Structure 1
Amino acid sequence: MLEVQSAEITLRTVRDHVRWAASRFTEAGLVFGHGTENALDEAAALVSHSLHLPAQIPDLYWDARITDGEQRLILERVSRRIETRLPLPYITGEAWFAGLPFHVDRRVLIPRSPIAELIETGFSPWLDAVAVDRVLEIGTGSGCIAAACALAFPEAAVLATDVSTDALALAEHNLARHGLTGQVQLLQSDVFDAVPADARFDLIVSNPPYVDAEDMAALPPEYRHEPRRALAAGDDGLVVVHRILAGAAAHLSENGILVCEVGNSEWALAEAYPQVPFLWLDFERGGHGVFLLTAEQLGTI
């Protein structure tokens, strides 16, 4: 177990614990990317969650003293993060997406898609929010994209699919948490297999498995704790995306759009479909490899 006896003697304030945890994370060579990008932000996230404080710790609290019980929890979590290399959201049981908290565990991928930015703007200028009646999410996992879309389009019916019954059980919990079980329907489906043939949607959105074989082989330990089936997608990372592209046109309304994340497989996709005018989207908060296609453009595939 991580040596913490000296820490118990010298650490007193919120600031002390964040600084100490950040140093230990850096010393241990941890890898980030599940909601934070560096050791200091990870340490702050761990301490704030442990103390039931806001994600952004207010200045008022930085020099507040921590109780013995709070310290034990923080040190235990720091030790677990280092020794197991579990991503922090699996330790705290919570991740944030589009400004919303979601319960997460090892049944699902930890939410981190840049698609959150698009949802926050209602997919403007490509969609008129008040005209969106039906939304389909493929591969819902924790339900975070479906839930955020439901709140962005409060008059729309949302269908969220996943091949994993374990993931759907967790998504159901998260939808109930946000009062969305009446607006979002969950369906076990492998891509479009169980989606009604005559169903049409104004938006199809997906963050499917897209990690290619080379990147899978190089994944750091933190990412290997996530469900392999939610990451791995064959040699080129496009096994699932090919199926989405093949079926999307038949399920989009006349003015509908497909938004899909493919990450580092962006170049492989562009090479596989040189005739398709993928619109690759930019993000203010970082992220890449998300494309948009209209129903008309998909009809050319």
Structure 2
Amino acid sequence: MDALQQLPEELLTLRDWIRWSASRFNQAGLVFGHGTDNALDEAAALALHTLHLPLDLHPQYWEARLTRPEAEALFARVRRRIEERLPLSYLIHEAWFCGLSFYVDERVLVPRSPIAELIEQGFQPWLDPQRVERVLDIGTGSACIAIACAHAFPQAEVDAVDISADALEVARINVERHGLQAQVQLHQGDIYQGLPAERRYDLIVSNPPYVDAEDMAVLAEEFRREPELGLASGDDGLDCARRILAGAAERLTEHGVLVLEVGNSMPALEAAYPRLAFTWLEFERGGDGVCVLSAEQLRSLPSL
């Protein structure tokens, strides 16, 4: 792309740079979905972060001119976004979830689960927030869900488990950034492995790998930059979900609940478990494929 060969000297203001960047993103056919869903929002977020400015910047500053070093830094990031198809969050090493900032890199998925809305609501009406004493986050990745739950339930102990040692290094960065070392405990293990055997939870929440083989084969390049371990889950997308369901009853307290995200694998999950009355949730900010199951429901299925 000729426009990316040299710094465009005619671009002066922040508004100029955002418009130009968005045009280049659209021209290159970029795919969004890692914090923004369109080229203009992506360009604005990239520019503001590069210039160390807040996302709610007052409109009067859109006409401010960039210095030469600022323009060069932003130009370099625009080029990387296009040429490497790197998701925005990997370029700026930041993602937002439940109103909280998280460090991210290519060792973890970019946080974007609709479960954020449930956390903000304290998982009501399925739980009494004041009675939640233990939470388990399975497949924690960056620990965004675990940390957000720790904020939502300050009285609760939160366990976060992941099979990936690399992911847990990122999770540890975030736990320390949020000062939650005493409340959030990280464990390396596969699903329930690595957790204290006697421990029971009022809430088990998981956004595990759930992309089926067919969808994995056609993923956009931006999504292929994320770790496959956090996405792929067998032919039907349920390899992890089955194992989470199989062990959940033994790990939940009497009135505990499981919140499980399976995205596009929702029809496959219903077909695999016809005796389970799944409660599928709706979200104001979009997203689907998240269900809630009670301990009682799970215990009624001995075949699990």
Give the alignment's TM-score, normalised by structure 2: 0.96
Aligned residues: 301
Partner of 1:215: 215
Structure 1's unaligned 5+ residue stretches are none
Indicate conservation of the 8 Å contact 2:261/2:289, yes or no. yes
1:40 partner letter: L
User: Is 2:71 the counterpart of 1:71?
Assistant: yes
2:11 maps to 11
Q: Aligned partners of 1:197 and 1:6: how far apart in 2?
A: 59
| 1:113-128 superposed matches below 5 A | 113-128=113-128
Q: Is the counterpart of residue 189 in structure 1 residue 189 in structure 2?
A: yes
Report the aligned-residue RMSD: 1.2
Q: How does 1:49-198 map to 2 (within 5 A)?
A: 49-198=49-198
Aligned with 2:194: secondary structure? coil
AA partner of residue 88 (structure 1): L
Hey, what does 1:279 align to over in structure 2?
A: 279
- Equivalent residues of 1:206, 1:261 under 8 A apart: yes
Query: 1:126, CA displacement in angstroms?
Result: 1.1
> Where does structure 2 lack aligned partners over 5 or more consecutive residues?
none
Q: Percent identity of the aligned residues?
A: 62
- Which amino acid is the alignment partner of residue 164 of structure 2? S
The answer to whether the 8 A contact 1:276-1:300 is kept is no
Q: Would the aligned equivalents of 1:135 and 1:202 in 2 still touch at CA under 8 Å?
A: yes
Q: State the alpha-carbon separation in 1 of the partners of residues 222 and 27 from structure 2.
A: 16
Contact 2:135 2:156 in 1 (8 A): yes
CA–CA distance in 2 between the matches of 1:53 and 1:285? 25
Partners of 1:2 and 1:233 in 2: CA distance: 40
Q: How far apart, CA to CA, are the structure 1 residues paired with 2:2 and 2:233?
A: 36
Counterpart position of 1:253? 253
Q: Which residue number in structure 2 is paired with residue 227 of structure 1?
A: 227
Q: Is the 8 A contact 1:248 1:258 kept in 2?
A: yes
CA distance in 1 between partners of 2:282 and 2:237 (Å): 21
What SS does the aligned partner of 2:3 have?
coil
Distance 2:275 2:148 in 1: 32
* CA distance in structure 1 between the partners assigned to 2:11 and 2:288 by the alignment: 40
Q: CA deviation at 1:243?
A: 0.2
What is the SS of the residue equivalent to 2:187?
strand
Counterpart Cα distance in 2 of 1:225 and 1:31: 12
Residues 1:4 and 1:225: Cα distance change in structure 2 (over 3 Å): closer
Q: Distance in 2 between matches of 1:21 and 1:158?
A: 41
Q: Give the AA of the match of 1:104.
A: V
**Structure 1: distance between partners of 2:201 and 2:218:** 37
Q: Secondary structure at the match of 2:205?
A: strand
In structure 2, what is the equivalent of residue 23 of structure 1? 23
1:197-208 equivalences in 2 (<5 Å): 197-208=197-208
SS at 2:71's partner residue? helix
Relative to the length of structure 1, the TM-score reads: 0.97
CA distance in structure 2 between the aligned counterparts of 1:74 and 1:275, rounded to whole angstroms: 54
